[in-house]
Chains A and B, each alone.
Chain A
Amino acid sequence: MPDTPVALPAELRTNLDRAVAQVNSVVLGKASQVNLAFVSLLAGGHLLIEDLPGVGKTTLAHALAATLDLSFQRIQFTSDLLPSDIIGVSIFERDHNRFEFHPGPLFAQLVLADEINRATPKTQSALLEAMAEQQVTVDGRSHALPAPFFVVATQNPLDLAGTYPLPDSQLDRFLLRISLDYPSREAERELLTSANRQQIIAKLAPCMSAAEIQTLREHVGAVVTSPALIDYVQGLISITRAHAEIRIGLSPRAGLALLMAARSHALVAGRGYCLPEDVQAVFVPVAAHRLTLSGAGTRDRLQLARALLNEVPVR
C-alpha cells in the first residue's frame, strides 16, 4: 500500500485489523457488510440493518459488541414500548426525599435497537433524538449519553402488519443502511457445520477499547480528501439532484455524510487518504435510503444508486 499522509499507530492498526477479522470469523461471508459496520462506527454514525429475519442481523450486532470493549444493551422494540422504557425514568426516592433519574437501556455505548419499526413513532422519535444529540433530556435535565455512542438498529422490511416503518426523513439519522442477504453456499455450509454462533460469541475476547475507538475517530477526521476527490463527490451529489427518476436528491448533510463515510472507509482499508473507490464503496449504503424517487422509473432506490455510480466519471 502507498504511504499514508498521517500514519496510524501500529498497535491501533493491528487492533483494528484484528477486530474486523474477529467479527468476520463470526459473521461468515459478509466481509463488506462487516467492513461497513466498522466504517459507520469510526465515522461516528449509526447503522441500520434492514433485512429478513434470521440472516444474522443480531449476530452481527452481538459480534461487534463482543469484539469491542463497549457496554452493550439490547432493546427489543415492541408496539407498547414507551420512550421512558428506553431513556429511563425519574423516580421519587423517599429516602432522599427527591426525584432521582434511573437511566434506561439507552445508556450504553453500543445499543442494539432490534426491530425498530415495531415501536410507535413516539418511541422511535425518542431513540432518533438521542442518536442525533448524544444526550437525553428528562424532566428538564440533560443527561449525556456515554461516548462512543453507537446504535445498530434493525428493521424487517417485509413483516408490515402492526409496524411503523421509519419515515424517509428519519432514515437520514442513520449514516449507513445495509442489508445482509443470504450467505453464500460455502459460508452457509460452514455455518451449518460449525459450532453455535452464541457459543462462539461468548468465547470472544474484546480487542478494541472505547479510547482506541475515539482515537480512530480522530484519525478519520484527518484523512486527506484531495480536490480531485471532492470534485468526484460533488459530481455524485449533483447528479442525484438533476436526475429524472429522483424527486429529492442528496442534501448537503447527506454530502457531508458521504464524505465522512468515505474517509472512514479509507481508514479501515488502511489508507490516510480517500480514493474514488472509497466513495463508491459507501455511496449505495449512504445515499440509497436518502433518495426520494419521483416515480418516473422502474428501478428501486438501491438499483438506482448503483446505476448512478456508473454515470459519474472519475477523472
Chain B
Amino acid sequence: MRLDRRQFDLLTLTIVLVLSTHVGHLPLWANLAAGLLVGGRWLQRSYRPGLGAMPVWLRLPLTLGLPVAVIAQFGTVLGLEPGSVLAIGMLVLKLGESEKVRDARAALTFAGFILMAALLFDQGLLGALHVAVAVGLVFLCLRELEIPPGERRGPLFGRELLGGARAIALSVAAAVPLTLLVFLFLPRLAQPLWGAPDNLDARTGVSEVMTPGQFQSLMIDDSPAFRVQFATGQPPPPQQRYWRGLVLNRFDGLNWTRTDSSSHRPVESNLQLLSAPLDYEVTMEPTQQRWLFPLDVPTAAPERFLRNVDLTLTGFRPIGAVQRFSMSSALEFRLAGLNPTQRQNALALPYGYNPRAQALGAQWREQYGDNAERIAAAAMKLFRDEFSYTLTPPPLGRNGMDDFIFETKAGYCEYFASAFAVLLRSAGVPTRVVVGYQGGFWNPTGEYLLVRQSDAHAWNEVWLGERGWVRMDPTAAVRPERVSLGSRAASGAETSWYRSEWLMTLRDRWDLVNQLWNEVVVQFDTLRQQGLLRQFGVAQADWNQLALAFAIGTSLLLAFALWWALRAGRDRQDLIDRAYAALCRRLQRAGVERAAHEGPAAYLQRLRAALPQSAAELEPLFADYIRLRYARRDADAAESRRFAQAARRFRPRRNSG
C-alpha cells in the first residue's frame, strides 16, 4: 500500500524529530547532508509525488559513500560516534526510498534504535525528554500507518491525530509498570557495555595542563561540574571551599604540567589533620578524566581511586558517566615532607624564559634572604597593589610571565597563579600550582552545593619550611570577592545579560531538577540497586539472584497481562452483560447452568422449578434484565447500575428443606 500524503508528512516529521536528538554531536557535514536529503525528499514527495522513490542511480552512490565518509571522518566505522553517523545516514536513505507502508514501518523501527543511541550520548533530563517525545511520535506514526492510506482526509493535526495520541499515551502508561520493574531489577553492569563516547570535546573541564588563557572558555561555562551534599547539611565557609584537582609542578615557560613523581603514595606521617574530617558526597558529571575534586585536603581515597603524594585523587578509569563518591576531608591540616628531588622539582624554571621576573625574584631573595614568608608577602603585595582582575586579558608574548607581570598586569586566576609561582621559584621558594575549583553555589532548596565549570580556579602552594606546604591564593589578593563570593561576583562589571539575577535564580531551580534526575534515574547503579534490595530484606543480591527475581517478576506481570487480556476478550460486554454473566455463574454453582443458547425467559422458567426458594428474588432481577436488555433500544445508565448492584448482591438460597 502506498503511503498517502498525510502519512508521509507525519513520517517525515517523526524522522526529523528523531534526527534532532543527534544534531548536537554529529559532524557538521552529516547534519547538513541529512537536512538536505530529508528536506529534498519531502519537497519531491509533496510536489512531484509521481517521481516515486529515490532512484537507484542516486541511492547507490549515497549508500556506498556513507561508510567512506564515516571512515574519512573517524578512521573507523566501529565505535559509538561512527556507528551513530552510519545508522543515521541509513535512516535518511530509508526515508528516501519509503513509498509503501512497509518501508515506513521498517524506517520507524530503525528510528527506535537511533533514539537509543541518542541516550548514550546524553543522559541529561532535557535529552531524555527530547528522546521521550520522539519515541511517542514514533509510536503515533506507527499507529497512523495501520489506517489504510487515503482513508483519512482531514488535516494532519486534527482530531483524529489527537485521538491517536490519547491511545498511544494509554498504551505507554500501561507499559510503565513493566518498565519500572526492568529499571529496578534488571541486573546492571558497573560500566555500560557499549562504553562512553570517545571524545567529549566541548566539555573539557579542568585539564591536565595549565596554560594562562586556557580557562577562558571555561570561565563563562555555567554548566555544572559536580554537586556536593554534606553530612552535616551545611557547607564550609566560602573561603575554605577549595576543590583540589591536580598539582602541577613542571613549568616549561608556557605550560604547567604534572610530574610523574606526583603519583607516588603519600607518607602517612607527613599529613597532620588539625580539624575533624568533614564527610560529604560528590556527584560528578562525566569528565572523561581520571581525577576527582575533593575538598582540600582529602583524608582518604574512595574505592577504585588512589591518593597520591601531593594529595590528589586519581582513579584507574576515566569518569564516563554521572557518578557519586563518598569522601571525607580535613579543612585544617599540615602537609610536611619535601625530599631533595621534590624540592628540586618545586624550584625548577626553564632556562631563558621570563628574565625580568627571574631578576625580580632574585632581588627579593637578596632583600629578604631565607624568609619565605616575607618573600610571599612581597609577591602578594605586588599583586594586590598593581594588578587587576579581568576575564578578557590582553594577549601575552613569548616571555608570557614577564609581559604579564610588568606590562599588562591584568588577568585571572591562571595568570596570577602562574606568575606567583614563577616569582617565588625565582626567589628560591619551593612553589607549585594547584588547579581545581573554588567556591560553589549553595542551593538551599536542594541542600547541596553546586560547583560550575566557571568556578574553575588555580592557586598555589608554597613551602614555608616548618609549616610545610601552605595554600596561597594570589587571585584572592587581587580580587577578594572571587574567593568570598565566587566567580560571578569577581567578574563584576563584565556580567552579561544571561547572568542577571532573576535568570540565575531560574537556573538554580533548573539545576535542582537536574540534580534530582541524576540522583533518581541516571545514577541508579549496581550499588543503589543493592541498597534498594536491602530495604526489601535481600542482604547480598548477586547477579544470579537478580536475574532470577527479574525473570519471576516479569513472568508474573506477563501472566497477569495475559489473564487480563483473555478476560477482557471473553466478556467485552457492558455493565449489564457482566452483571448478568456473574449472576448466571452464581446460579450455575447453585446447580442450574444456563445453556449458552438459552434466553433469559426460558432460563427463568427452569430456575423457578429448580430453585423455588430463590424464585421470589430472581423474578424481579430477571424482569429488570429483560427490560434493560430487550425492551429498550439503549439502556439507561443509572438503571443499569442499579441492576448490576442488585445482581451482585444476589446469593442463591440453600434449600431449607
Bitwise, B608-652 to A at CB < 8 A (1) or not (0) is 000000000000000100110111111000000000000000000
Q: Is A275's CB within 8 Å of the partner chain B? A: yes
| Stretch touching chain B among A32-40, A198-206, A222-230, A242-250 | A222-230
B601 touches A275 (CB 8 A): yes
Q: Tell me the complex Cα distance, A83–B530, Å.
A: 98
Known contacts A2-B623, A315-B577; A227 and B631 CB within 8 A of each other: no
Partner of A226, one of B595, B598, B599, B632: B632
Q: Tell me the complex Cα distance, A313–B596, Å.
A: 5
Q: Is A150's CB within 8 Å of the partner chain B? A: no
Q: List 13 A-B contacts (CB under 8 A).
A: A2-B623, A2-B626, A3-B627, A4-B631, A226-B633, A229-B630, A273-B630, A275-B599, A275-B600, A276-B600, A277-B601, A280-B602, A310-B595
A314 touches B599 (CB 8 A): yes
Partner of A274, one of B597, B627, B630, B634: B630
B597 touches A224 (CB 8 A): no
Closest CB of chain B to A235's CB: distance in Å? 10
Q: Is B573's CB within 8 Å of the partner chain A? A: yes
A277 touches B599 (CB 8 A): yes
- Chain A residues with CB under 8 Å of B632's CB are 5, 224, 226
B577 touches A224 (CB 8 A): no
Q: Tell me the complex Cα distance, A229–B631, Å.
A: 10
Partner of B631, one of A224, A311, A314: A224
B residues 566-608 in Cβ contact with A at 8 Å: 573, 577, 580, 595-602
Partner of A277, one of B573, B602, B629, B634: B602
Closest CB of chain B to A172's CB: distance in Å? 26
- Chain B residues with CB under 8 Å of A273's CB are 630-631
* Beta-carbon nearest neighbor of A312 in chain B: B597
Q: Tell me the complex Cα distance, A133–B99, Å.
A: 57
Bitwise, A268-297 to B at CB < 8 A (1) or not (0) is 000011111100100000000000000000
B623 touches A226 (CB 8 A): no
Closest CB of chain A to B581's CB: distance in Å? 8
- Chain A residues with CB under 8 Å of B602's CB are 277, 280
Residues of B in contact with A (beta carbons under 8 Å apart): 573, 577, 580, 595-602, 623, 626-627, 629-634
Residues of A in contact with B (beta carbons under 8 Å apart): 2-5, 224, 226-229, 272-277, 280, 309-315
Partner of A5, one of B577, B595, B599, B631: B631
- Chain A residues with CB under 8 Å of B595's CB are 310
Q: Tell me the complex Cα distance, A257–B601, Å.
A: 23
B630 touches A224 (CB 8 A): yes
Closest CB of chain B to A219's CB: distance in Å? 15
- Chain A residues with CB under 8 Å of B599's CB are 275-277, 280, 314
Closest CB of chain B to A2's CB: distance in Å? 5
Q: Tell me the complex Cα distance, A314–B580, Å.
A: 12
- Chain A residues with CB under 8 Å of B573's CB are 315
Q: Tell me the complex Cα distance, A195–B598, Å.
A: 41
B634 touches A275 (CB 8 A): no
Q: Tell me the complex Cα distance, A135–B352, Å.
A: 130
Residue among B580, B601, B602 with the highest chain A CB neighbour number at 10 A: B601
Q: Tell me the complex Cα distance, A238–B573, Å.
A: 20
Q: Tell me the complex Cα distance, A8–B66, Å.
A: 83
- Chain B residues with CB under 8 Å of A274's CB are 630
Q: Tell me the complex Cα distance, A3–B629, Å.
A: 13
Those 8 A-B pairs whose CB atoms lie nearest each other, nearest first: A276-B599, A313-B596, A273-B631, A277-B599, A226-B630, A2-B623, A277-B601, A228-B629
- Chain B residues with CB under 8 Å of A224's CB are 630-633
Given contacts A315-B573, A315-B580, 17 further A-B contacts (CB under 8 A): A2-B623, A2-B627, A224-B632, A226-B629, A226-B630, A228-B629, A229-B630, A272-B631, A273-B630, A275-B599, A277-B599, A277-B602, A280-B602, A310-B597, A312-B597, A313-B596, A314-B598
Q: Tell me the complex Cα distance, A128–B601, Å.
A: 37
* Beta-carbon nearest neighbor of A269 in chain B: B601
Q: Tell me the complex Cα distance, A8–B85, Å.
A: 80
- Chain B residues with CB under 8 Å of A314's CB are 596-600
* Beta-carbon nearest neighbor of B623 in chain A: A2
* Beta-carbon nearest neighbor of B577 in chain A: A315
A226 touches B631 (CB 8 A): yes
Q: Tell me the complex Cα distance, A273–B599, Å.
A: 14
* Beta-carbon nearest neighbor of B598 in chain A: A314
Residue among B573, B580, B623, B629 with the highest chain A CB neighbour number at 10 A: B629
Closest CB of chain A to B603's CB: distance in Å? 9
- Chain B residues with CB under 8 Å of A4's CB are 631
Q: Tell me the complex Cα distance, A280–B596, Å.
A: 13
Q: Tell me the complex Cα distance, A286–B626, Å.
A: 24
B597 touches A228 (CB 8 A): no
Q: Tell me the complex Cα distance, A273–B627, Å.
A: 9
Closest CB of chain A to B625's CB: distance in Å? 10
- Chain A residues with CB under 8 Å of B634's CB are 227
Q: Tell me the complex Cα distance, A228–B634, Å.
A: 9
- Chain B residues with CB under 8 Å of A272's CB are 631
* Beta-carbon nearest neighbor of A1 in chain B: B623
Q: Tell me the complex Cα distance, A313–B600, Å.
A: 12
* Beta-carbon nearest neighbor of B631 in chain A: A273
- Chain A residues with CB under 8 Å of B598's CB are 314
